[in-house]
Amino acid sequence: MFHYHVWCQLMGDGCPDIGWSRLDSVRDNGGAVPGYNVDERAYFNESQTAKPITLNCPWCRTQNVYDLRWMVRKKKDRLPPGADERDRARFQKSQSYMVLLDDKVACKNLRCRKRFDISGIKTMAYLTD
Ligand SMILES: [Zn+2]
């Protein structure tokens, strides 16, 4: 089992913010970058996990704990066949990380139940072994 540094929101400036456009590309094509032989997905073992986080509904201002889904990409021990030098260099630099999959939650307050955007938290965190 591995643990992530800390919640990204606690890391402040130490945490890279990849932004939503980068997140979308990770979602849509697994982080593949044109020009490389090996898809970035081949570097990682993928899994999903859920982590609780406290959010405030902007509509009714109720605070609740929500289980947000994260995609975990844990770096493999070695590159797959077909990798060239550039892939190798990129693989060396890559780290295990997780990306937030959810961007909205439904308010748990039964009298509200409105959906709202998850904001104010970082959407990516690097993992340490
Ligand atoms: Zn609400």
How many angstroms does the Cα of residue 17 sit away from the middle of ligand 1? 27
pLDDT for residue 92: 86
With a pLDDT cut of 90, the percent of the chain lying above it is: 36
Report whether pLDDT(61) > 90: yes
How many angstroms does the Cα of residue 105 sit away from the middle of ligand 1? 10
How many angstroms does the Cα of residue 55 sit away from the middle of ligand 1? 10
How many angstroms does the Cα of residue 98 sit away from the middle of ligand 1? 27
How many angstroms does the Cα of residue 64 sit away from the middle of ligand 1? 9
Contact 69, 122 (CB under 8 A): no
Give the type of residue at 113. R
Q: Which pTM was predicted?
A: 0.64
If one compares 101 and 1, the residue with the highest pLDDT of the two is: 101
Q: Average pLDDT for residues 14-36, to the nearest whole number? A: 42
